[in-house]
Structure 1
Amino acid sequence: MSRPTRAQRAAAIAARRADAVELRLAGADPLTVGKKLAADPTINTDRIAYPFGYGHELYAKGRPAPPDDTLARSVLRDTAHALEHRIAAARESIEELRALEDARLDRMFLVAYRKAVRDGDLPAIDRALRIMERRARLLGLDRPIRAEITGGDGGPIEVADATADELAALIALTDPAAERGQG
C-alpha cells in the first residue's frame, strides 16, 4: 500500500472533522465522537479502522490507542477548527452576496437617477433616495446616532442605592396600571 499524498491526508482529516462536527451537532459527547472516529478498531465503536481517525499515527506504529481524555481533547480541537473554517466560508459568502446586492442597487439607482434628474420626477427622486439609504445600510456607511441621557436641567443623572420598597414606590409613581390598582 502506497503512502497517501499530502492532499489525500488533508482531505481525510477534513472529512474526519466534518464527521466530528455532525456527530457533535447530533448530540454526541466528545469522547463518544472520538471512539466512533478512532483509527484503532479495538476502540472504534463500529469496530473498523477509521481512515486518519483519532490516534491514527499511534495505530500505524502498533502502539496503544490514546487515552480517553486525549481522544476528547482531539475531538474538541477538531470541531473548533472545522467550525472556524465554516464561519470563514460563511463570511466569504456574505461578502460575495453583499457585492452582488450592491451591483443590483447600482443598476436600479441608475434608472431612478436618470429619471429624477432628466424629468425632475418626484417619485423617481424618492426612489433614488431610498436606494441610497438601502446602500448605506448594506455597506454600513451611516454613522451611528449618538444619544445622551441627562438628568433634570440637562445635568448628570444621580444614582443612589434603593430598597425594594423604595423601588416599588417609584414604579407605582410611573406605572398607570399600578395607580389603578391593577399592578
Structure 2
Amino acid sequence: MGRPDKAQRAAIARRRSDAIDLRLAGVDWLTIARKLAADPTANSDGIAYPQGYGIERYRKAMDPPSDEALIHAACRDVRAALADRRAELKDDVDELRALEADRLDRLFFVAYKKAVRDQDLAAIDRTLRIMERRARLLGLDMPTRAELSGPDGGPLEVESKTVGELESLIALTAPDIA
C-alpha cells in the first residue's frame, strides 16, 4: 500500500471528523468503530464506509477486523483528529497574535508621534497603554512575585487541628440553616 492519494486523504479526514463528532456526542468506541468500518458486514449501517476501518482487509476480501482492532482504530483516529485540531488552533492563535501585534504597532506609532511631537499627556498615556497591552499579548512582562507573611511581616503560623476542632470552628462561623 502506497501513500494515499488526494481523494483518499480527504476520505480519511472525513472519517476522522466523523469519529470525533460521534465521540463528542457521547457515542461509545465500539459503535463509532462499527459505524466507520469499511466492510458492510462489520459496519452498523450495513454499508462500506469510504476509507473506513479495515479497508485493506475489505479490498482483499478478508474477514473484517476484530472489535478490538476496530476500537483501536477509532481511538487512534480521534487522537489524530484532536492533535490536528490542536495544531490548527495553535497556528490560528499564533497568526492572530501576530496580527494583533501589528495593529498595536500601528496604533503605537500614531500615539508615539503625537506624544513626542506635541508633548501631549493624553497621547503619552495612550502610548503607555498600548505598550502595556503589547507586552501582555507577547508575554513580555515578568510574573509578579507574591509572598505571604504573618503579622508585622513575620512568618506565618500554622496550626494543627483535629477533625472535631474543625467541626466546632465551622459550627461557630457557619450561619444557622433552618
Q: 1:124 is matched by which residue type in structure 2?
A: A
Identity %: 58
Residue 132 of structure 1 and its aligned partner are, at CA, apart by 0.6
CA distance in 1, matches of 2:25, 2:105: 43
Q: 2:134 is matched by which residue type in structure 1?
A: R
RMSD, aligned CA: 2.4
Partner of 2:42: 43
Distance verdict in 2 for CA 1:139–1:4, change over 3 Å: closer
Q: 1:102 is matched by which residue type in structure 2?
A: A
Structure 2 residue ranges without an equivalent (≥5): none
CA distance in 2, matches of 1:57, 1:158: 68
CA distance in 2, matches of 1:172, 1:42: 65
Partner of 2:58: 59
CA distance in 2, matches of 1:5, 1:169: 69
Distance verdict in 2 for CA 1:159–1:96, change over 3 Å: same
Residue 61 of structure 1 and its aligned partner are, at CA, apart by 1.5
The runs of 4+ residues in structure 1 deviating greater than 4 Å are 168-173
Report which stretch shifted further, 25-34 or 138-147.
Answer: 25-34
Alignment of 1:101-140 (within 5 A): 101-140=100-139
Partner of 1:72: 71
CA distance in 2, matches of 1:80, 1:21: 9
Residue 152 of structure 1 and its aligned partner are, at CA, apart by 4.1
Distance verdict in 2 for CA 1:103–1:22, change over 3 Å: same
* TM-score, normalisation: structure 1: 0.85
* TM-score, normalisation: structure 2: 0.87
| Pairing 1:92–2:91 present | yes
Structure 1 residue ranges without an equivalent (≥5): none
Deviation string, structure 1 residues 68-105 (Cα, Å, up to 9, x no partner) = 12211211111011011001001101111111111111
Residue 111 of structure 1 and its aligned partner are, at CA, apart by 0.9
CA distance in 2, matches of 1:109, 1:152: 45
Residue 160 of structure 1 and its aligned partner are, at CA, apart by 3.8
Q: 1:31 is matched by which residue type in structure 2?
A: L
Q: 1:93 is matched by which residue type in structure 2?
A: D
